[in-house]
Amino acid sequence: MKDDRAYSTTVDALLFLVMVSACAVILSPVIMGHSMERASTDRNLRELATAAIVTMETEKVDYFEYRILGDVADQIATYGGINATNDFLYKEITRSVLGRGSRHRTVMDLAAEDAACQFVMRYGNDTLRLNPLTTEYDQQIRLLVDKAVRSRVDQRFGYEFTLRWMPFAGVPLEGSVTAGRPHPPGAMSIQTFVTMPYTTKITMAGLRNLNEPDLASINESIVAYRSDNDSAKLQAGIHESLQRCLANSTRAEVQEIWGNTLGSPRAEDRRIDPASALEAFSTNPTSADTHALDVRSMGEDAIVQAVVFQNRDSLNALAASCAAEIVQNGSDYPAIEQKILSWLLTRYEPSRARVTMSVWVGG
């Protein structure tokens, strides 16, 4: 009897390959279609995210206004039986006293300025806001950003906008503006940098003048080393003066940030001292005495201490490097001064903020 099992197995294998090929032919348009659809969706989402950012960078707001300590004033008014939402006279008085406004500014500029005046310190997952004056500013900015984004991204899509500004290198001091809601996995995200709406006036020449007494102390340490050859004393003297230079420079930089945001004049050329406003609206019965809360001073001190602490390793390394150059290479004071001033400049980077826009299908 003829054995045709081998022939049958071969036929089965060929039929299997034919069926697999047929399935591939049938399914390939579906697979390709899904791939092309995914690529098209990603491209559309990227275009939406880009369009939203461009809108915020180019379209100007005719008038934007908020009240310094507006939330505190409303709370106190409510305690006193005043309807802070509907009382016309109350709203006009607080607007006149606490109001601050800007005309013909882009949404991105306003958001960047809001981030720059928050002074938020991060400790792991915890945050401490050193400036409690602009809660209403944050709320109004979020509404403004949402309106700008929704002019380009309709309700079929969800979005998350984040602008984060970190002016001091290596220091967990920041300001941020967020709108939308946290993005899910798979959302299309794009990042860019935006220029802050002001230019720093901190220069190397300015730092030299600001720190002249402490730089002179470093020169004195160098002169003393030429006499006693005590390298440990030299490094200690440089280190001590460097700490003061960093603290002085940081304080001037914080004051610049404050002046560019809360300390700047409003559109009507009126000024209000935010720290005095906080004292006036404080519910603390001791606010009028000599221990009244001084937000500006407290904020400056906290930031200066944080910057010096976070830069301790870099400062130690710089002091050791300067001492080594003097001891081993005979470097003179002008070279050391230039090195120190260059380092001080790198500690402050206020000119740009990072923007992230995420968009996904499904509002």
Q: Which long-range contacts (CB under 8 A, 24 or more apart) does 138-141 make?
A: 138/114, 138/177, 139/66, 139/71, 140/64, 140/65, 140/66, 141/110, 141/111, 141/114, 141/177
The answer to whether residue 28 sits within a structural domain is no
Contact (CB, 8 A) for 358 and 183: yes
Stretch among 175-179, 204-208, 254-258 having the lowest mean pLDDT:
254-258
Residue 188 φ then ψ, to 5°: -80, 120
| pLDDT tens-digit readout, 4-47 | 555 456 656 556 565 656 555 555 554 444 444 444 578 889 99
In a domain, 178, yes or no: yes
8 A C-beta contact, residue 158 and residue 360: yes
11 lies in some domain = no
Q: Which residue has the tokens 């006149």?
A: 96
Give the Cα separation of 176 and 353 in Å (integer). Answer: 9
Identify the helix (H) or strand (E) that includes residue 143. Answer: helix 135-150
Average pLDDT over the chain, rounded to an integer: 79
pLDDT the model gives residue 138? 86
Measure the CA–CA gap between 173 and 300, rounded to whole angstroms.
Answer: 12
Is there a single domain that holds both residue 139 and residue 240? no
Q: How confident is the model at residue 199 (pLDDT cuts 50, 70, 90)?
A: confident
- Does residue 79 sit within a domain? yes
pLDDT in tens, 113-172: 888 888 787 777 777 777 777 778 888 899 999 999 999 999 999 999 999 999 998 788
Dist. CA 288–CA 311, nearest whole Å: 37
Q: pLDDT tens digits, residue range 240-278?
A: 999 999 999 999 998 888 777 665 544 344 444 544 544
Asked if 83 and 175 sit in the same domain, the reply is yes
In this predicted structure, what is the pLDDT of residue 10? 63
CB of 268 within 8 A of CB of 101? yes
Tell me the Ramachandran region of residue 225: left when phi exceeds 0, alpha when psi lies from -120 to 50, beta otherwise.
alpha
Whole-number pLDDT of residue 285: 42
pLDDT at 64 exceeding the cut of 60 = yes
Q: CA 355, CA 284: separation in Å to the nearest integer?
A: 39
At 71, list the tokens: 């939330």
pTM: 0.68
Mean pLDDT of 62-84: 66
pLDDT at 269: 41
* Residues 211, 341 share a domain: yes
Same domain, 356 and 337: no
158 and 112 share one domain: yes
Q: Which amino acid would we find at residue 63? A: Y
Number of structural domains, the chain?
A: 2
Average pLDDT over residues 305-326: 94
Q: Are 322 and 333 in contact (CB under 8 A)?
A: no
pLDDT greater than 80 at residue 328: yes
Model pLDDT, residue 93: 57
What is the pLDDT at residue 265? 41
Domain residue limits at 98: 59-197+350-361
